[in-house]
Amino acid sequence: MITGDQIRQARKLLGWPSSRLAQRAKVHSAIVRRAESVDGEPPITVYQAALIRDALGRFGIEFTNGDAPGVKLTATKGAQGREVITGQQIRAARELLGWTPYRLAPRASMGHTLLRQFEAGARVPDEESAARLKAALEDAGVIFTAGGVKMRPRLLGGVVHERLNAEKDG
């Protein structure tokens, strides 16, 4: 069984207000507030607790038990099961390009403070934000791999003037 404290910690780790957790878990926001009102076993049904646990699990939250129950962020899959880039990958890609947060943020239609929070792991990008960040970085030539990030190879050569090409043809 998850505790109210774990639910509260998980929500804060994701940077979500209680209303977003309620929406993702498909429960009323009063249920989330009630669950978080205690440190121990929440005064909600087993079914409601399962909905909350599943919603948090879809965004990479793992509940730890034992002497000191807690939470940790592990997975990088979004709600649709698609890969979501991590803050570490965002920062590595940005640094690979030699960009500052001030250069990447507007290309991904977000503020630089939010971008820094994603990179630091203080917040987890939702799928929409992650998709915008990934698109901006890929447009600049970054390739995301299982092991990290790398630059797309640049093709040597380029446009050959028509006359130069015609002279070679004879």
- In a domain? residue 78: no
Looking at the fold, whether 115 and 93 belong to one and the same domain comes out as: yes
Task: Give the whole-angstrom CA distance, residue 148 versus residue 60.
Answer: 18
Q: Do 66 and 94 sit in the same domain of this protein?
A: no
Q: Which domain holds residue 116?
A: 87-151
What's the pLDDT tens digit per position in 34-77?
999 998 899 999 999 999 998 888 777 888 876 667 777 664 55
For position 63, which CATH number holds?
Answer: 1.10.260.40
Instruction: Give the model's pLDDT for residue 144.
Output: 79
User: Is 79 domain-assigned?
Assistant: no
Sign of CA dihedral 132, 138, 142, 145: positive
Residue 160 lies in a domain: no
Rounded-to-integer distance, Cα 55 and Cα 22, Å: 9
- What are 137's two structure tokens? 């970085």
Domain total in the chain: 2
Inside any domain, residue 162: no
Output the CA–CA distances (angstroms, integers) from residue 145 to 12, 66, 74, 160, in the order listed.
Answer: 29, 35, 18, 33
Residue 145, both tokens = 């791999």
**Inside any domain, residue 158:** no
User: Do 68 and 105 sit in the same domain of this protein?
Assistant: no
My answer on whether 9 and 59 are in the same domain is: yes
Tens of pLDDT along 104-146?
999 999 999 999 988 887 777 888 888 899 899 989 988 877 6
Q: Across-strand partners of 22?
A: none
Residues 63, 98: one domain? no
Give the list of residues 6+ apart from residue 46 with CB closer than 8 angstroms, or none. 1
Residues 61 and 105 in one domain: no
Backbone angles phi, psi at 44, to 5 degrees: -135, 170
